[in-house]
Amino acid sequence: MVSKTRTKFHFFSGKGGVGKTTMAAASAMHYAASGKKTLIITTDPASNLADVFEQKIGYSVVPISGTNNLFAMELDPDKATAEYRERTIAPLKGLIPEESLAVVDEQLNSPCTAEIAAFERFTDFLQEPDYDVVIFDTAPTGHTLRLLELPGEWSAVIENAAKDGSAGQTCIGPATALAESKEKFDRAINAMRDPKQTTFIFVLRPEATAIYETQRSISELTKLGIVSQELIVNGIYPKGACDNTFMLHRFCKQQEYLRQIKINLALPATLMQLEANEVKGKVSLQAIGNKLLANPVKLADFSIQISEIAQESLTQNYRPVNPAIEKLLIPNNGHRRTIFFAGKGGVGKTSVAGATALWIARRGYHTLLLTTDPASHLAQILGQPISEKPARVGKKGNLWMACIDGPQAAKEYKAKVIAEVSQKYDAKRVAAIAEELNSPCTEEMATFEKFIEFASLKDYEVIVFDTAPTGHTLRLLKLPVEWSKQLEIKIYTTTEDTEMDKITKQHFKEVIEMMQDADRTTFSFVMYPENTPIEEASRAMKELKTIGISTNMIVANLILPHNILTNDYLRQRKSMQEKYLGQMRERFKVPIIQLPLLVDDLIGEENLMQAAFLLYGK
């Protein structure tokens, strides 16, 4: 990052929990204070922008109170979808027969309508003439890459459908009605690829999984032709705070990761220390913005300091197994146990899910660890490849793991639909349906079906879900309820029930009942004790409650151990944690399990089992 704005559009992205929103908001404050009219938009469906600025924001652009030149907006997928439906249908009323209008309306019930509606609203701001700077606070990396791939995909779909003239159809409406959208998408592609207009800023922490995800994202963006990229390495421990063996060990690990970033990522990088207190409110954001942009510390100028550590005992004391917690983790009365771990990105869901699955498997239960996160790091954490076919972890034992592979799921889904319609329609109609299946939204539908398939498995005694960050998980978990009467994508086939429909309906019913049954399902939120993850989890719990899903357990992660509080910096952070732990006890009337900050990253079975013993007892 540099002190003056070189580009108009700034995208902040990275692994969940690395500080994207804080860095984006702090940058927005800095640019606004320097006299530039600035707009910050969040594309994250579980946005924390309002929490950071400590004011209500919402779907309309609003000024940030107490500042000049600064405006903000939260992109709401539901409101964007309602606007898109009305905008698509309104011009057709009175021009086409009612039955044709009904077909278009039915098309707009497809899952991709929400995706394309939110995306089209997003592209509106990539040609925004009213602001000097537009900052995008994006969803975690996997979903952001999906968002950035969409302009090209949808542009091609609309172009192919339009070749058929006025009859051309896409699953988001008539192609002729989408010509303006295609122009907008093409402009969006050009803007994002132009280094004079757009800068893409990856925020990461000096940790193995964050470095891996950033490397992968840099490669994917480069393939898309987006080459103006920079780094912010956040959460670095001040050397003065590392005056005990535990913290010195963590400090040296960070320094080694900084060396890797310097060598392997090779992008302009700014360093940001981990603050003693939570960054929240406009005063602290302004201070962070000044550190980031007015007086930046560059990795290129930073001296890496790795020292030998005196090997003192860093062991932890394990608690005995708590029967009440144990009951939430193991099968009950012959029923399979399903455990979901959810929460804000970066709070440690994958590590906690992995530790939990190992603990249960070593109790003798056949256990499947499944990730629904497109940017999951289970393969790195457990040290072996992962695919959608369950594979045993290690050479023996009771743990298997798998992932939902979106592209592979879409390929299988297309083959299944084509096989079904080929039995009912002529070759011309089948070819038209095959063209429809090239829509980008097919992957979401296929991913959803895979989730239903895994959730319906009978082969395991316990299934542990490592979920995507909150907003995307809520969408996935609500789909069985919302779609229990809308099967397949009806524009592809027919409104009549097929045998496949009946089977899928039964799976929907079983999954809904399973998720709502506390004797069979445990829903747990992982969070660290700070305001943003607590507020996000609280909102998600209320939303899940509306579809009959209760939260049963909370894991409070990264708790500073009492025996390392050897300086004011650590004591300040511990005081902040205790304040928020108190709030969690007051707000969440479920068991709260604390996982202390550990000396090593949770990578490998040995470290995961240490975490599991600390969580659930030995």
In order of 174, 175, 416, 441, 554, the CA distances from 157 in angstroms are 11, 9, 21, 11, 44
Could you tell me if 73 and 288 are in contact, meaning their C-beta atoms sit under 8 angstroms apart? no
The per-residue pLDDT for range 271-295, each reduced to its tens digit, is 999 999 888 889 999 999 999 999 8
Total residues belonging to the chain: 618
C-alpha 251, offset from chain centre: 28
The answer to whether 27 touches 64, Cβ cutoff 8 Å, is no
Chain CA centroid to CA 532, Å: 15
Region 531-546: mean pLDDT is 86
Please report the domains of the chain, with CATH numbers, ordered by start residue. 9-301 (3.40.50.300), 323-562+569-616 (3.40.50.300)
CA distance 318 to 431: 62
Map 500-546 to HEC letters. HHHHHHHHHHHHHHHHHCCCCEEEEEEECCCHHHHHHHHHHHHHHHC
Q: What is the pLDDT of residues 96-131, one digit of tens each?
A: 667 666 656 665 665 556 656 766 777 777 776 789
Top-confidence residue, 25 or 379: 25
- pLDDT mean across residues, the chain: 80
Percent above pLDDT 70 for the chain: 76
pTM (two decimals): 0.78
Q: Which of 117, 115, 121, 165 is nearest to 143 (CA)?
A: 115
Cα–Cα separations (whole angstroms), residue 314 to 250, 336, 433, 487, 609: 12, 37, 61, 54, 15
- Residue 159: phi, psi to the nearest 5? -65, -45
Q: Quick one: tokens of 564?
A: 């390392």
More confident: 481 or 262: 262
Q: Give the 3-state secondary structure of residue 317.
A: coil
Tokens representing 156? 């091609």
376: left (phi over 0), alpha (psi -120 to 50) or beta: beta
Place 548 in a pLDDT band, splitting at 50, 70 and 90. confident
How far apart are alpha carbons 480 and 513 in whole angstroms?
Answer: 10
Please state the separation of Cα 34 from the chain's center in Å.
32
For residue 86, count CB atoms less than 10 angstroms from its CB and return exposed for 0-12, middle for 13-18, buried for 19 or more: exposed
Q: Which of 257-261, 538-542, 557-561 has the lowest mean pLDDT?
A: 538-542
- The answer to whether residues 433 and 421 touch, using CB atoms and an 8 Å cutoff, is yes
Taking Cα atoms as reference points, which of 389, 528, 374, 447 lies closest to residue 111? 447
Comparing 346 with 314, the larger pLDDT belongs to 346
**Which residues, other chains included, contact 23 with Cβ-Cβ below 8 Å and sequence gap of 6+?**
12, 201, 203, 232, 234, 272, 288, 292
Give the pLDDT of residue 295: 86
Beta-carbon contacts of 366 under 8 Å, excluding residues fewer than 6 positions away, are 398, 400, 459, 460, 461, 462
Judge whether residue 22 has pLDDT over 50. Answer: yes
Select the more confidently predicted residue: 260 or 316.
260
Any idea which of 112-126, 199-213, 301-315, 316-330 has the lowest mean pLDDT?
A: 301-315
- Mean pLDDT of the 510-516 span: 81
- Residues above pLDDT 90, as percent of the chain: 34
Per-residue pLDDT band for 172 (boundaries 50, 70, 90) equals very low
Distance (Å, rounded) from C-alpha 244 to C-alpha 563? 10
| Residues contacting 307, CB < 8 A, separation 6+ | 248, 252
Nearest Cα to 434, choosing from 450, 419, 452, 454?
Answer: 419
Q: Quick one: pLDDT at residue 81?
A: 74
What is the DSSP annotation of 548-607?
Answer: T----EEEEEEEPPGGG--SHHHHHHHHHHHHHHHHHHHH--S-EEEEE--SS-S-SHHH
pLDDT tens-place string over residues 417-472: 788 778 877 888 777 777 667 665 577 677 777 877 888 788 899 999 887 655 55
Q: Name the token pair of 454.
A: 């895994």
Measured in whole angstroms, the distance separating CA 303 from the mean position of its chain's CA atoms is: 33
E strand segments, 278-416: 297-298, 337-342, 367-371, 391-392, 399-403
Whole-number Å distance between alpha carbons of 185 and 77: 18
pLDDT the model gives residue 440: 56
